[in-house]
Amino acid sequence: MFTGIVEEMGAIAFLEKALVGTKLTILASIVMGDLKIGDSVSVNGVCLTAISIGERDFSVEVSPETLSVTTLGGMGAGTPVNLERAMKLNERIGGHLVAGHVEGVGVIRGRHQDGNTIFFTIGAPPEILRYCVAKGSITVDGISLTINEVSERGFSVAIIPHTAKVTTLGLKRVEDVVNLESDLIGKYVERLLQERSQLPKSSPVIVRTTCRSEG
């Protein structure tokens, strides 16, 4: 489990592609502190396992399935990535509970700045939007953000200068793709209500509203 609070921006050093999957070697510094082989690391929101560790980098293996359903399949050497080690239960949870199981890919449809805040509009598939509510949480490329507004085709978020500086979101432009993971809590509530026959199996959970908040 993760919190969605990115520890640092690393970069892909190189890739080794094979039929059974791809090995990524990632340059990093902060997350190298106590990283061990077998530890989980969130790479742009994707939970991966460290299989080897060097002085300034670590390697992970990515299955063909993960490559096909996340943005990792389109990355190359030099691509910056958001990194976070698995959470510790004895520390504050600054974001929200993040599994690192990317559910789909979104597309940035709009970006504009208002004062020191950058607003993004992100197109998302229905299976993710059903769990999106204003003031709720969403994970975008491993970053825990507060949903600003929800529509039938997407949602919007706002980021402060610090988030833009320390994560890859500050580098994103219109038409760029991002990994998305909706909030776990909404899924459990939906399943519980369905089991009690208090909610139809396909009932959408979408709220249309307008507000502003920063991630």
Q: Hey, where are the domains in the chain?
A: 8-85, 104-195
From first to last of the 215 residues of the chain, give the pLDDT tens digit: 999 999 999 999 999 987 778 999 999 999 999 999 999 999 999 999 999 999 999 999 999 999 999 999 999 999 999 999 999 888 888 889 899 999 999 999 999 999 999 999 999 999 999 999 999 999 999 999 999 999 999 999 999 999 999 999 999 999 999 999 998 888 878 778 877 776 566 544 433 333 333 44
Using CA atoms, how far residue 5 sits from 55, 76, 126, 128, in Å, is 24, 24, 25, 20
CATH of domain 104-195: 2.40.30.20
Are both 8-85 and 104-195 of the same fold?
Answer: yes
| Parallel/antiparallel/unpaired status of strands 177-182 and 137-140 | antiparallel
CATH 3.40.50.620 corresponds to the domain 8-85: no
